[in-house]
Amino acid sequence: MPTKPIKIGIIGCGHIAQKHLASYEAIMQKESDLFRITSVCDMVEENARALAARIAEWQDSEPLAHTDVHKMVVHYELHGADICTPHYDHHVSGVQCLEAGTNVLIEKPFGLTSRASRLILDAAAKKKLITACAGNIRRQPAQRALHWAIHQRGMIGEPRMFFVQHAGYHRPTTPRAWHWRTDKFMGGGGMIMDQGIHFADMISYLFGEPERIYATVRQHEKWPYIREGKTIFDDREDMWMVMLNLKSGVDGFWSSTAVAPGEPSTVIAYYGSAGSITDDSDVFTGPSPNARLTRQGEAVRPLSEVIQEYMKSLSADDRGRLFPHGFEDSITLEIYDFLRALATDTKPEIDGSLGLRTKAICEAIYESAHCNEAVPYDEVVNGFIEGYQREINDYWGI
Ligand SMILES: NC(=O)c1ccc[n+]([C@@H]2O[C@H](COP(=O)([O-])OP(=O)(O)OC[C@H]3O[C@@H](n4cnc5c(N)ncnc54)[C@H](O)[C@@H]3O)[C@@H](O)[C@H]2O)c1
């Protein structure tokens, strides 16, 4: 167990690292001796230097700026690394950190593929180190309240089914700037994997893991991207329809598309034996506080009211565990969970094994579409089914 302050390194100093930074700053304001960010690393030196300078604005020392993960973790003591690199690098940086004795918090999705995720877990097991996966959405008051309303208050009765669907339109012919996410080998998949992982975590949090998944995944439009002056085309999906049969007996349908011109539509609906929760916010991260809870034959209640009731019902211990220092921002909560796990040598809520299992829901969707059959979820988790992922694993030599 490290003595405080815990030494943290941030790897990958791009978009999400900036968000993590705001959370570290908020935590430091409440617990000034909990941690220090002593190193940051980005393959682009100016990104690392810029992040280090920003940290020095609120921390009493400026972190060292590195460009090589291996050198950083081998030469400088770090108790935890917060890995914010693109998906294809998670297992590379993750294994380097773990082999050097550094615990890891890895941004979602945990590994590029199921195999890549297992490489990280194996490295952690060898060194008996902590792995955490940065799943943030379930930590929000609305999602915690929903879980409580369903499981402790039985507000919709026995959960039965859900329908989560969105149809919208983004003009597919407008060229966009190329980004690693547009490359199947770098991202591991498209939105099913990138944002869909939030949906996957929420569904398993609320209703448990899938037994079986059947999916159709298509690309209707060739999306142009500009990379170094050249136009290249995105091969990611722009439409999916997924049927999920969960081990709990709940059945669900999840679908989203960005190529449905005309009137957009969004439905988020969970039904149980006594009522429903409905919403029209976001099919990846919903339901929102604007959702409505309806018990059959009773007046509709806004979820915001249920959230208040839930927050009031929390014991001091639960409040300290779920919303330490009154934090409600989901990224702050995920980072605090990691720091607390390091400080107390305990398991974070979403550890690497859960990260792998959540990611396997997204992977099972691609696998089902690849073989055009329903796939047993557990066989995707344990790696027996990997037809879709094989090409990605071969590409990176995983
Ligand atoms: N939880 C969320 O809501 C959320 C939101 C956005 C992104 N993310 C996740 O965060 C991760 C990063 O996404 P992003 O949007 O910040 O990407 P980004 O492209 O903005 O930043 C990635 C950074 O990593 C650096 N990098 C790449 N390979 C590296 C290596 N080997 N060593 C050191 N640095 C390296 C790049 O130079 C870049 O600065 C992804 O896993 C993504 O899915 C999560």
Distance in angstroms (rounded) separating the CA atoms of residues 52 and 18 = 11
pLDDT range class, residue 37, cuts 50, 70, 90 = very high
Helix count (H) and strand count (E) of the chain? Answer: 15, 18
Atom of ligand 1 nearest to the CA of 92: 31
Which protein residues touch ligand 1 with a CB less than 6 Å away? 11-16, 41-44, 47, 69, 84-87, 89, 93, 107-108, 134, 136, 194
pLDDT recorded at residue 300 = 96
Q: How many angstroms separate the alpha carbon of residue 42 from the centre of ligand 1?
A: 10
Q: How many angstroms separate the alpha carbon of residue 167 from the centre of ligand 1?
A: 28
297: left (phi over 0), alpha (psi -120 to 50) or beta: left
Q: Whose CA is nearest to atom 38 of ligand 1?
A: 14
Q: How many angstroms separate the alpha carbon of residue 84 from the centre of ligand 1?
A: 5
Q: Is residue 251 part of a domain?
A: yes
CATH number, domain containing residue 242: 3.30.360.10
Atom of ligand 1 nearest to the CA of 16: 16
Q: Are residues 15 and 122 in the same domain?
A: yes
Q: Dump pLDDT digits (tens) for 228-287.
A: 899 999 889 999 999 999 999 999 999 999 999 999 999 999 999 999 999 988 989 988
pLDDT recorded at residue 295 = 95
pLDDT recorded at residue 174 = 84
Q: How many angstroms separate the alpha carbon of residue 87 from the centre of ligand 1?
A: 7
Tokens coding 320 = 């300290």
Edge to edge, what strands does the sheet with 64-66 contain? 64-66, 35-41, 6-11, 80-83, 103-107, 131-134
Pick from 15, 23, 66, 236 the residue to mutate for probing ligand 1's pocket: most ligand atoms within 8 Å of its CB. 15
Atom of ligand 1 nearest to the CA of 180: 19
Q: Is residue 385 part of a domain?
A: no
**Looking at the predicted structure, is the pLDDT value of residue 329 above 80?**
yes
Query: Which of the residue ranges 55-59, 134-138, 155-159 would you say has the lowest mean pLDDT?
Result: 134-138
What is the arithmetic mean of pLDDT over 330-334?
97
Q: Dump pLDDT digits (tens) for 291-311.
A: 999 999 999 999 999 999 999
Domain boundary, last residue among 262, 293, 315? 315
Beta-carbon contacts of residue 294 (< 8 Å; ≥ 6 apart):
275, 276, 277, 278, 300, 301
Q: Is residue 199 part of a domain?
A: yes
Strand 159-167 and strand 210-218: pairing? unpaired
**Looking at the predicted structure, is the pLDDT value of residue 3 above 80?**
no
Contact indicator for 214, 167 with CB cutoff of 8 Å: no
Q: Is residue 269 part of a domain?
A: yes
Domain boundary, last residue among 265, 288, 315? 315
Q: Are residues 164 and 295 in the same domain?
A: yes
Q: Are residues 147 and 132 in the same domain?
A: no
Q: Are residues 102 and 161 in the same domain?
A: no
Edge to edge, what strands does the sheet with 292-295 contain? 301-302, 292-295, 275-279, 265-272, 159-167, 251-257, 239-246, 210-218, 375-376
Q: Are residues 79 and 171 in the same domain?
A: no
**Looking at the predicted structure, is the pLDDT value of residue 218 above 70?**
yes
Q: Which amino acid is at 182?
A: T
Q: Is residue 396 part of a domain?
A: no
pLDDT recorded at residue 235 = 82
CATH number, domain containing residue 104: 3.40.50.720
73: nearest Cα among 21, 9, 4, 13: 9
Q: Is residue 264 part of a domain?
A: yes
Q: Are residues 129 and 157 in the same domain?
A: no
Atom of ligand 1 nearest to the CA of 47: 39
**Looking at the predicted structure, is the pLDDT value of residue 47 above 90?**
yes
Q: How many angstroms separate the alpha carbon of residue 297 from the centre of ligand 1?
A: 48
Q: Dump pLDDT digits (tens) for 376-392.
A: 999 999 999 999 999 99
Q: How many angstroms separate the alpha carbon of residue 88 from the centre of ligand 1?
A: 10
Atom of ligand 1 nearest to the CA of 48: 39
Distance in angstroms (rounded) separating the CA atoms of residues 66 and 74 = 12
**Looking at the predicted structure, is the pLDDT value of residue 192 above 90?**
yes
pLDDT recorded at residue 129 = 98
Q: How many angstroms separate the alpha carbon of residue 37 from the centre of ligand 1?
A: 18
Q: Are residues 289 and 176 in the same domain?
A: yes
Pick from 73, 105, 107, 193 the residue to mutate for probing ligand 1's pocket: most ligand atoms within 8 Å of its CB. 107
Q: Is residue 388 part of a domain?
A: no
Tokens coding 53 = 């300078």
Q: Whose CA is nearest to atom 28 of ligand 1?
A: 85
Q: Are residues 329 and 308 in the same domain?
A: no
Q: Are residues 117 and 100 in the same domain?
A: yes
Number of domains in the chain: 2
Q: Is residue 362 part of a domain?
A: no
Q: Whose CA is nearest to atom 34 of ligand 1?
A: 42
Contact indicator for 160, 273 with CB cutoff of 8 Å: yes
Distance in angstroms (rounded) separating the CA atoms of residues 126 and 218 = 40
Q: How many angstroms separate the alpha carbon of residue 363 from the centre of ligand 1?
A: 20
Looking at the chain, the whole-number percentage of residues with pLDDT higher than 70 is 100
Per-chain mean pLDDT for the chain:
96
Q: Are residues 111 and 51 in the same domain?
A: yes
Q: How many angstroms separate the alpha carbon of residue 385 from the centre of ligand 1?
A: 28
Atom of ligand 1 nearest to the CA of 93: 31
Q: What CA dihedral angle connects 215, 219, 223 and 225, to 10 degrees?
A: 60
Cβ atoms < 10 Å from Cβ of 302: 13
Q: Are residues 177 and 62 in the same domain?
A: no
Q: Are residues 262 and 228 in the same domain?
A: yes
**Looking at the predicted structure, is the pLDDT value of residue 167 above 70?**
yes
Distance in angstroms (rounded) separating the CA atoms of residues 71 and 100 = 10
Q: How many angstroms separate the alpha carbon of residue 16 from the centre of ligand 1?
A: 6
**Looking at the predicted structure, is the pLDDT value of residue 2 above 90?**
no
Q: How many angstroms separate the alpha carbon of residue 227 from the centre of ligand 1?
A: 18
Residue 80's domain spans which residues? Answer: 6-137+324-350
pLDDT recorded at residue 1 = 67
pLDDT range class, residue 222, cuts 50, 70, 90 = confident
Nearest-Å Rg of the Cα atoms of the chain is 21
